[in-house]
Amino acid sequence: MALWSNAEGGDLMIRGQAHALPEGILAMAARSLRVAILDDDPSVRTAISRLLKASGMIGDTFATSIDLFNAMEKARPDCILVDLYMPTLDGLEVMNYLREIGIGAPVIIMTAHDDPALRDSCIKAGATAYLRKPLEAAELLDTITRSAKPPADIN
C-alpha cells in the first residue's frame, strides 16, 4: 500500500485514511509547483517527494548541498525544503549561500530538534518556516502552499 495517494473529493489518502488538503493547495498544485528537497536521509527525501507528487507538485531531491547548488543552474524551485543538520553545510549556511548567489525562493527549515532559540534564529535569518520532524503531511503541504512562489507565466 502506498504511503500517500489521491482520494476522491480532493482529499489526500495517508496510510489508508483520507485527510482534507489545506485550503488552496489544489489551485497551487495545478500550477505544478517545483519544490527542492535537501536532506541527507534518503527515506525523508523519498517520502516528501511522494507526498508532493500525490499533491500534484514536483519534488526534486538532493542528498548534498553541492547537488542542490548545481541544480540551481538548470531549474529554479518555487520553494526549498532544507534539513537543518547536514554533514557539510547546515541549513542556515545553505540558505545564506542561496541568497548570495541570487536564489530568492522561500526556504523552509526542517529538523528533528525543536529548539525555540534555534527556530527564532532561522526565522530571523530569513527562513519562511521551521518545521519539526516527523513532518505532518497537511502541515507541510500548507506551509509549502503559503510559502511558494507560483511559477512564472510563460507567454
Q: How confident is the model at residue 114 (pLDDT cuts 50, 70, 90)?
A: confident
Does residue 76 sit within a domain?
yes
What's the start-to-end Cα distance of the chain, in Å?
41
Does residue 14 sit within a domain?
no
The structural domain count of the chain equals: 1
Does residue 15 sit within a domain?
no
Domain containing residue 40: CATH number? 3.40.50.2300
Does residue 61 sit within a domain?
yes
Q: Which has the closest alpha carbon to 79: 128, 133, 132, 124?
A: 128
Does residue 91 sit within a domain?
yes
Q: What 3-state class would DSSP assign to 70?
A: helix
Residue 111 has pLDDT above 90, yes or no: yes
Does residue 4 sit within a domain?
no
CA gap 20, 84 in Å, rounded: 28
* Residues sharing a CB contact under 8 Å with residue 90, sequence separation 6 or more, in sequence order: 84
Does residue 138 sit within a domain?
yes
Does residue 31 sit within a domain?
yes
Which structural domain, as residue segments, surrounds residue 108? 22-147
pLDDT for the residue numbered 2: 38
In single-letter form, the type of residue at position 50 comes to: R
pLDDT for the residue numbered 31: 63
